[in-house]
Amino acid sequence: MIPQEDSEISLEELSSRIELLVQLAYPSRTIDYAKMILRELREINVDAVYIVDQPRPSLKLIGKGYRGVILKARWKNKIVAGKILRIDSGISSLVREAEMMKTVNSIEIGPLLFDYSEHVILMEYIQGIDLDRWLEKLSQDDVYPLKKVLESILAQARKLDCINLDHGELSNARRHIVIREGLHPTILDFGKARISRKPKNVTSIVSYLTFGPHHNKILDMLEVEGLPVLTLRRYRENPCEENFKSILRGLNLTNIGLHG
């Protein structure tokens, strides 16, 4: 299959091409909602959005979720990702998610937040492969890449725990972590993140590694049978640095302090 070519369309041109404009109102294509999104894109200085021409002209969507769709756009001469609130979402605004992104950006986690409005978030355009597919492609000889990525993911999860921010969806890590070039994992989608006295980021990641769809492969490559229950319980009861280090040692991951 020949890859589709992206092309830019200015917001001015988008406003006059109704068949494309209504796609801003996913999934219902309601024109009034689409015009509101267009207005907000203008207010936060988006210059253009990207479209694909096959099989018919449509907005270049790079992601779809329960709360929003993500399109490819240009802002201040940067290619960015624009998250647009779905018209059928159960929430009325993306402001809270943007505020969570500000918080995690302050500890160098997540896509960079550039700007936002009530129904649109502009963020760094992350290119990579989702964790699930990345793990599928690993060979048994790829122990170093596996350890480097897992150490980084766990270190980022630890950072989130330390600021009492719970991502909320890391038990399904394959959908919320992308591996960028250079073995750099990025945690995505803070739509359900919240401040919590007992965040579960580290324990959710460990659960995914030891019980998720690739747990046999992961544990075999790490040369461990599994994480002792007591080790994880101690961390849940007292999420201190020493108990976190015990988790890493239990998984044969020992390069403490690796991040990003």
CA separation for the pair 158, 120 (Å, rounded)? 29
Number of Cβ within a 10 Å radius of residue 238: 9
CATH of 6-124, one of 3.40.50.300, 3.90.1200.10, 1.20.1250.20, 3.30.200.20: 3.30.200.20
CA separation for the pair 10, 119 (Å, rounded)? 20
**Domain 6-124 and domain 129-250 have a common topology:** no
Do residues 59 and 26 touch, judged by C-beta distance below 8 A? no
pLDDT at residue 175 greater than cutoff 90: no
pTM, whole model, 2 decimals? 0.91
**Which residues face 63 on adjacent strands?**
70
Q: Is 209 left (phi over 0), alpha (psi -120 to 50) or beta?
A: alpha
Domain positions in the chain are 6-124, 129-250
Do residues 182 and 191 touch, judged by C-beta distance below 8 A? no
Q: What is the pLDDT of residues 61-117, one digit of tens each?
A: 999 988 999 999 999 999 999 999 999 998 999 999 999 999 999 999 999 999 999
Fold for 129-250, please state it.
Transferase(Phosphotransferase); domain 1 (1.10.510)
Q: What is the pLDDT of residues 4-18, one digit of tens each?
A: 678 999 999 999 999
CA separation for the pair 186, 175 (Å, rounded)? 11
